[in-house]
Amino acid sequence: MEHVPPPAEELALLDRELSQLDARRAHLLTRRAWLVGALEPQAPNAARWSTPPVGHGWAPGQPWGSTPRAAKPSTPHSAQNVLLALGGLLLTVAAVAFTLVSWGSMGIGGRSAVLALVTLAALAAPVVLLRRKLAATAEALAALALVLTLLDVYAVHAVAAPDADGLTFTAVASAVLAALWAAYGLALDKLRLPLPAAVFFVQWPLLLGAWAAGAPAIVVGWAVLVTAVVDGAIALWGKGLGVRVTAGIGMAVMGSASLLTGLGESLTADGPLGAVLPGTLLLTAAVAALAGAWRAPNGYAQAGGVVAGLAAVTAVGGVLRTAVPGTWNVPVYLLCGLALLPVVRARLPRSAGRGVLAAAGVVVAGALLWALPPVAAVLLGPVELVAEVWAGAPDGFRGALGESMRWSGTAAAPVVLAVVAGLLGAAYRWWPSLVRVAAPLVTPGAKARGAAGAGALALGWGTPLLALATLGAPYQVAVAVETVLVAGLLLVAVRGAERGTGDAGTAEGDGAEAGAAGGGRSAVTVTALVGAVGGAVSVGLLSLASEAATYAVFGALTVLFAGAALRARAVVEQAVFAVAAVVWGTVLTGCAARSLELAPHQAAPLLLVVPAVTVLLGARLRLHPVASPVELTGALGALVAVGLAVPQAPFLALVLALCGVLAAGAAVRPERRPAAGYVAAVLFVAATWVRLAASEVSAPEAYTLPVTVPALVVGVLRRRKDPEASSWTAYGPGLAATLLPSLAVAWTDPDWLRPLLLGVAALVITLLGARYRLQALLLLGGAVLALDTLHELAPYVVQVAGALPRWLPPALAGLLLLAVGATYEQRLRDARRLKDLLGRMR
């Protein structure tokens, strides 16, 4: 009977057989490819046979596939093109040299005959060459003929019409050359050069003709506009890519020149009648651009729509602006730009309509850019008051903003902001209807609605501030209004946080509209949050001019932000509001210290009131996510207090001790104990050192040992009760309280007794730490012992180093590096073992 293996074994056998078959097939295919290459005809000087591939048992030599390839020869066409280009270039140089250098050595008949004969020959040669299918040679001779026609024009001007005006002659010659090369290109449609050359010559007749006639700028603008229209027609209906590209470049250049000419004339017009002519030019350009956009591909159609919209706004706005004062020109153009918005209902191609809408957006953006610098001046101007705190209330709002802005020219800026804010607000409020109306052209999503709402809120906030500055409102009114605006922004932010991600009252219709509402609400909430904080900083700086205003503003801000933190539901908003309230409260305590005429170091203890409140608040909040940001902000306030107390050591010791008390109070809570406990110990020890240094104590052990001994006893009791307790918590503060001040004094003590006693004590502590595996004793004792030994041996080391040759220290350093490098892996293992050993200690 035939043995049938188990399925798993049979599957393995099949896989091995298939793998061997695949390898054999690849082997045979490679051999076949080599044989086919060996049988192909080779170059005369090449060897008939090459070494077959190895690695599969065929022949010794190089591996398969590694046979060096011969350099790829240049193709006949590329070599031909190079030769033709060089030949045409040499003939062109010869023709130019003949015309410029040898022209005077021949008579008028000979000169004319030579140039005419050569030009006709160059023009006729491509006909014969194209019949023989020598297209590249024909293109080279056509290029030579092009240069020769230019030389003919120069020759005619120099001989037949030397007195003719240069611009007029060039205009006529350009027209003749354009017609000649257009006819030539249409007759020989296989040549690629003549028609683009004709398009190039088309650019100059009207422009140079108007220039030669001394026409005014508006006539020159019409000339280049007509040229641009011709270029556009050629770009749309021209034959060949080169023709269309050349015409497109000409259209862009000439159209830009026409638009710039019309814009310049419109802006410099003195009255409505003077602005009509450039307006007509711009409107004609708009119509032409829109007509081209109607038939152009998508990308070009959108660009044409943009050009048409901007040209129309410039034309109409240029006429209307002459009827209003100069400061109101921007609102006029803004209203003209907004008049483009009904294009969404016009029957325009989709891309062209998008371009017109984009033009309206460009106009609105330009108006905002004009209006935003005064808003920045309003928000950032009060920074100058930091250098003159409580110098007295200025005469008006402008007086508190400095002299960086000329407010007489910004009367229309609040109107621009208000119009755009109202437009964005309306779009945000009636978003579903707007989406339905704009659907033929654009399909705005949730982010667009969010951007509209956020923009409306930001601009609506800046409008009254700028209006107050423009109108020169009293200082007190400006402070009150800005504070009310901050309160309004806080209300929006809190309501947005309460509603979460959606606005059910606004979203109507399908799910896409509801999603848009959600996106809008989120953006509005973020904008309100950022605006509230930024506005609070601005009004806080503004209030520094007056003592009463400072207390009123920062008191109101503290209450507003604290109330917002209590009302908000989202964690991020709560944290931001709470942190801001802590900052405003800290500023209030600083203001109280200034009112009491306290020096900075005397004001430091008073600044700790807010950190104390944050510690109590953290105990009340416990595990709430807002607790940590609030306590960290209070800690920053305590750090400011420490910085203020640095110049006076007694006050610094007091502040450090008070900070230690606050840290110890925070360490009572289990979740804060690991971090706050260490901080409290460090602060208490630092306060002790500073106090001893301030009292100029020369024997700090008399004060530190009475603290160290009880602390060590408490540590021993703690370790007996809890053997897993860290040695740093049990013994670290007590040991540091004596060792570190003694070390500081020992480094400045010229006597030998103190360093000796300190070294012995540190050695005993180090040995105890090693014996009982206590990390704090080992590290503290070892560090103090090493530093004390270094201090004692330093003079002798310096003497020995001075006696050694200069080359010896670098040599020893090199040997040390070599030794470390040679045993690098062993040193790493030793370092890891030491780290693990220390990590296992308590």
605 vs 684: CA distance, rounded Å: 16
Mean predicted confidence (pLDDT) in 336-352: 82
Mean predicted confidence (pLDDT) in 833-838: 78
pLDDT band at 73 (very low <50, low <70, confident <90, very high): very low
Mean predicted confidence (pLDDT) in 231-249: 91
339 within 8 A of 286, measured Cβ to Cβ? no
Q: What amino acid is encoded at 202 in this protein?
A: V
Which of 36, 33, 27 has its CA nearest to residue 58?
Answer: 27
| pLDDT at residue 87 tops 70 | no
699 vs 757: CA distance, rounded Å: 13
Give 638 or 294, the one with higher predicted confidence. Answer: 638
Residue 35 burial (C-beta neighbours within 10 Å; 0-12, 13-18, 19+): exposed
| pLDDT at residue 297 tops 90 | no
For residue 751, the 8-state DSSP code is S
Judged by DSSP in three states, 46 sits in: coil
* Range of lowest pLDDT (72-76, 129-133, 628-632, 774-778): 72-76
554 vs 663: CA distance, rounded Å: 27
502 vs 640: CA distance, rounded Å: 42
pLDDT band at 86 (very low <50, low <70, confident <90, very high): low
The pLDDT value recorded for residue 74 is 41
* Range of lowest pLDDT (275-284, 455-464, 641-650, 789-798): 789-798
DSSP string, 196-241: HHHHHHHTSHHHHHHHHTT--HHHHHHHHHHHHHHHHHHHHH-SSH
Strands (E), 512-626: none
pLDDT band at 56 (very low <50, low <70, confident <90, very high): very low
Q: What amino acid is encoded at 830 in this protein?
A: D
Mean predicted confidence (pLDDT) in 699-724: 85
Beta-bridged to residue 54, according to DSSP, are 63
pLDDT tens digits along 8-42? 778 888 888 888 888 888 888 888 888 887 776 54
DSSP string, 654-694: HHHHHHHHHHHHHHTSTTTHHHHHHHHHHHHHHHHHHHHHH
pLDDT tens digits along 111-145? 656 777 778 888 888 888 888 787 877 888 888 88
| pLDDT at residue 388 tops 50 | yes
Within 8 A by CB and 6+ apart from 671, the residues are 622, 623
Within 8 A by CB and 6+ apart from 543, the residues are 479, 549, 550, 552, 553, 554
* Range of lowest pLDDT (69-83, 300-314, 341-355): 69-83
334 vs 341: CA distance, rounded Å: 12
pLDDT tens digits along 647-677? 999 999 999 999 999 998 888 888 777 788 8
The pLDDT value recorded for residue 110 is 60
| pLDDT at residue 563 tops 90 | yes
Mean predicted confidence (pLDDT) in 168-175: 92
Judged by DSSP in three states, 708 sits in: helix
Average pLDDT, the chain: 82
Task: State the first-to-last Cα distance of the chain, in angstroms, to the nearest integer.
Answer: 74
pLDDT band at 520 (very low <50, low <70, confident <90, very high): very low
The pLDDT value recorded for residue 112 is 58
Mean predicted confidence (pLDDT) in 409-438: 87
Within 8 A by CB and 6+ apart from 603, the residues are 590, 593, 594, 644
CB atoms within 10 A of CB 656: 24
**Percentage with pLDDT > 70 across the chain:** 86
Alpha-carbon dihedral sign for residues 709, 710, 711, 716: positive
CB atoms within 10 A of CB 123: 20
Judged by DSSP in three states, 54 sits in: strand
778 vs 792: CA distance, rounded Å: 21
* Range of lowest pLDDT (185-199, 325-339, 513-527, 532-546): 513-527
| pLDDT at residue 49 tops 50 | no
315 within 8 A of 280, measured Cβ to Cβ? yes
The pLDDT value recorded for residue 507 is 39
pLDDT tens digits along 252-292? 999 999 999 999 999 988 888 889 999 999 999 999 999 98
614 within 8 A of 585, measured Cβ to Cβ? no
DSSP string, 500-545: TT--TTT--SSHHHHHHHHHHHHHHHHHHHHHHHHHHHHHHHHGGG
Residues listed for the chain? 842
pLDDT band at 204 (very low <50, low <70, confident <90, very high): very high
| pLDDT at residue 367 tops 90 | yes
Q: What amino acid is encoded at 6 in this protein?
A: P
At residue 63, φ and ψ (nearest 5 deg) are -65, 160
The pLDDT value recorded for residue 64 is 39
Which of 475, 624, 458, 589 has its CA nearest to residue 535?
Answer: 458
Mean predicted confidence (pLDDT) in 784-800: 83
Mean predicted confidence (pLDDT) in 36-52: 53
439 within 8 A of 420, measured Cβ to Cβ? no
470 vs 398: CA distance, rounded Å: 8
480 vs 171: CA distance, rounded Å: 69
644 within 8 A of 607, measured Cβ to Cβ? yes
507 within 8 A of 451, measured Cβ to Cβ? no
Distances (CA, A) of 781 to 201, 260, 787: 93, 82, 10
The pLDDT value recorded for residue 702 is 82
